[in-house]
Structure 1
Amino acid sequence: MPVQHSIDDERELWDTYARSEKVREQAVSGPPAFRWTQYEGHGPGVELLGDPGTALEIGCGTARMAGYLSERGVKVSGVDLSPVMVEQVSRRWPGVRFFAAEVLEHLSQNEDTYDAVYSMFGAVWFTDPEKLFPLVLQRLSPGGVLAFSQPPAIPGAYGPQGMYKGGFAGRAMYTYRYSFEPETWGDLLLGAGFGTVRTEVVDAPVEGHIGTLIVTARKPSRQTA
């Protein structure tokens, strides 16, 4: 198990990220966009969510995907650990309801339910899945979809991967990313109670470049005995 560290330190890490010039520009003026891969115009799109009336983006960052859904009539909420980021995107996307909160705490305390919960290189990548997935399942409506994407695991490097903020000097500010093989993600989701799971790695548009792990899982439509 990873060594526990202060959530305040991690929040400061993401506040610093939110204040960076490129990220801030995207947060305050970036156009709506919906994609699962790190390559513009490549890979599947919003169809992975089905046709949700409500959706929650966990680790929403610049919230461009939330803005895209909101402009198309979906009632969208977003949660992000960074208050700085949430302040910026709240001005950019007034039709989206935002929460500045740690995702596990938010899912435990907020009883709203959604047709879809999603994360593009967001909270699923940075949260222990054994804690996260059961909480997501509780927040999904029957038949609801969880969809997320992130880089595939580096071969032989599975589980929590530590990441320091910026270089390797100065005060230690760090977080964890969680990486597994596609089959392991499937096992974790099925073990949490999801009914159907699909995992795939979408190749990059350029051969030899980093692909994208994309996972979708559906909550059963009815309770089984």
Structure 2
Amino acid sequence: MAEQQHVSMTRTAYDTVAESYADLVRDELDGKHLEHGLLATFAQRVPVGEVLEVGCGTGRVTEHLHRLGLDVAGMDLSPNMIEVARREYPHLRFDVGSMEALDAGDGALAGIVAWYSIIHTPPERLPAVFAELNRALEADGLLLLAFQSGDERVRLEHVYGHSVSYDAYRLDPDDIEKMLVDAGFEIEVRVHRAPVGYEPTPQAYLMARTRTRR
């Protein structure tokens, strides 16, 4: 089956910016107390087992989760991003892959974190993505999403000091919550905050648990 255009565009863009991205966002979580609290809450609530960060980029959030005591690995579309992640955090496992088709068995994962990684998927394709995440999670597995709040597509053409061409989607938290419920999740935490500093939009965070399998 031919690869979807949004997947190839996103991979090409992040391959291009990988080194610059690593330098610019390495300390991006510093001072973000709300985000630290959400990640810590996820670490406390997730069942014991393997956790996967999908769309891990250069691995900074994967490393943060590791420091919180989780058995965590990272996965990203971009081979160049994964190369940087392996170099920066050689004690962790990072693999190339897609959240649309996870290399994980049914119920194999205790938790999944998608930290601003659903924003490059067209909204009409997100129900299938959430169904795939649900498939890979064990009963009562935990999912944490972070994304930019809104309702528009933005074409990105110059980021992290490079010329690129790919899309980012600002997503309505109500729509995402409904998609998650339809995919078999129960919402546990919903946070919506105002933009801070350079952020152009509000930010949204959803934590959801898979419904018990019968």
Same fold per TM (> 0.5)? yes
2:106 is equivalent to residue 114 of structure 1: no
Aligned length: 199
Equivalent AA in structure 2 for residue 111 of structure 1: G
CA distance in 2, matches of 1:15, 1:141: 32
2:211 is paired with a residue of what secondary structure? Answer: coil
Name 1:48's counterpart in structure 2: 41
The alpha-carbon distance between structure 1 residues 26 and 67, as it changes in their structure 2 partners (threshold 3 A), is farther
Deviations 1:53-73 (A, max 9, x none): 321111101211211222344
Q: Residue 155 of structure 2: which of 163, 170, 174 is its match?
A: 163
Q: Is the Cα–Cα contact under 8 Å of residues 40 and 68 in structure 2 kept in the other structure?
A: no
2:194 is equivalent to residue 194 of structure 1: no
2:66 is paired with a residue of what secondary structure? Answer: helix
Equivalent AA in structure 2 for residue 46 of structure 1: L
Question: Cα RMSD over matched residues?
Answer: 3.0
5+ residue gaps in structure 2? none
Please, what TM-score do these two structures have when normalized by structure 1? 0.75
Of structures 1 and 2, the larger Rg is shown by 1
1:117 deviates by 0.5
The alpha-carbon distance between structure 1 residues 82 and 218, as it changes in their structure 2 partners (threshold 3 A), is same
2:133 is equivalent to residue 136 of structure 1: yes
Deviations 1:154-181 (A, max 9, x none): xxx35xx1423328xxx9832342512x
Name 1:11's counterpart in structure 2: 11
5+ residue gaps in structure 1? none
Equivalent AA in structure 2 for residue 163 of structure 1: R
Equivalent AA in structure 1 for residue 91 of structure 2: G
CA distance in 1, matches of 2:201, 2:10: 26
Equivalent AA in structure 2 for residue 166 of structure 1: H
Please, what TM-score do these two structures have when normalized by structure 2? 0.78
CA distance in 1, matches of 2:55, 2:155: 17
Q: Residue 78 of structure 1: which of 71, 74, 79 is its match?
A: 74
Runs of 4+ in structure 1 over 4 Å off: none
Q: Is the Cα–Cα contact under 8 Å of residues 51 and 112 in structure 2 kept in the other structure?
A: yes
Q: Is the Cα–Cα contact under 8 Å of residues 53 and 114 in structure 2 kept in the other structure?
A: yes
CA distance in 2, matches of 1:204, 1:7: 27
1:48 is paired with a residue of what secondary structure? Answer: helix
Name 1:24's counterpart in structure 2: 22
1:148 deviates by 0.9
Bigger proportion of residues as strand:
2
1:45 deviates by 2.9
Name 2:208's counterpart in structure 1: 217
Deviations 1:29-66 (A, max 9, x none): x47x8x5xx96234433233114432111110121121
1:196 deviates by 3.5
Q: Is the Cα–Cα contact under 8 Å of residues 39 and 204 in structure 1 kept in the other structure?
A: no
Name 1:125's counterpart in structure 2: 119
1:214 deviates by 0.8
Name 2:96's counterpart in structure 1: 100
The alpha-carbon distance between structure 1 residues 132 and 164, as it changes in their structure 2 partners (threshold 3 A), is same
